[in-house]
């Protein structure tokens, strides 16, 4: 697995263990903010900030969400609490990076039965998937961005890196 800069421009590092600003390790149960920043040519990097260092950073982010350190184990599987805030942070974002991430993440969350695929429509020759959940009112239309198998694998790897332990 490549943890450096991939040829499609995602840069991801070991995430979720300490604050990018002050270097303080997150304790078990501690809430912190995770941030994706978009650089040149769609380069995405993740940074995590403790609550103290987070103030005033919202404006420069591609997306951000609050999460919580659950345990010290590296074998845990990230549950809904980790992935849903990230999924929700992509809501309303229409740029290519966000649309592609949303598609791959939605399919994964549906496999985990966090989201439910309730309808499949068509729009301009592309499938439009309708997902519901986990809240009753939560509904999302996700257009198939027409990704290659390689691109799907790469995005899966990106999300694996954003959420260590994700499989
Ligand atoms: Zn900090």
Residue 158 C-alpha to ligand 1 middle, in angstroms? Answer: 24
Strand partners for 139: 132
Tens-digit pLDDT profile for residues 11-63: 444 567 889 999 999 888 888 998 888 777 666 778 899 999 998 888 778 88
Question: Which 3 state secondary structure label does DSSP give 113?
Answer: coil
Residue 101 C-alpha to ligand 1 middle, in angstroms? Answer: 27
Question: Alpha-carbon distance 128 to 148, whole Å?
Answer: 17
pLDDT beyond 70 at 106 = yes
Residue 138 C-alpha to ligand 1 middle, in angstroms? Answer: 33
Per the listing, tokens 């009112």 go with: 137
pTM, two decimal places: 0.73
Name the pLDDT band for 167 (thresholds 50, 70, 90).
low
Residue 81 C-alpha to ligand 1 middle, in angstroms? Answer: 21
Residue 32 C-alpha to ligand 1 middle, in angstroms? Answer: 9
Q: How far is CA 157 from CA 6, 16, 26, 53, 145, in A?
A: 10, 16, 24, 28, 18
Residue 34 C-alpha to ligand 1 middle, in angstroms? Answer: 12
Q: What percent of the chain has pLDDT over 90?
A: 30
């Amino acid at each position: 697995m490549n943890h450096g800069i991939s040829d499609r421009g995602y840069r991801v590092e070991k995430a979720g263990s300490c604050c990018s600003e002050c270097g303080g390790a997150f304790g078990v149960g501690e809430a912190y903010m995770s941030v994706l920043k978009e650089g040149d040519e769609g380069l995405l990097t993740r940074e995590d900030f403790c609550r103290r260092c987070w103030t005033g950073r919202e404006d420069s982010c591609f997306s951000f969400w609050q999460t919580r350190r659950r345990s010290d184990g590296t074998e845990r599987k990230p549950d809904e609490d980790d992935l849903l805030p990230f999924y929700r942070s992509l809501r309303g974002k229409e740029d290519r990076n966000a649309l592609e991430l949303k598609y791959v993440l939605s399919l994964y969350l549906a496999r985990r039965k966090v989201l439910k695929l309730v309808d499949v429509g068509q729009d301009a020759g592309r499938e439009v998937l309708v997902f519901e959940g986990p809240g009753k009112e939560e509904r999302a239309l996700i257009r198939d961005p027409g990704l290659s198998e390689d691109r799907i694998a790469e995005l899966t790897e990106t999300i694996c890196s954003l959420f260590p332990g994700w499989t």
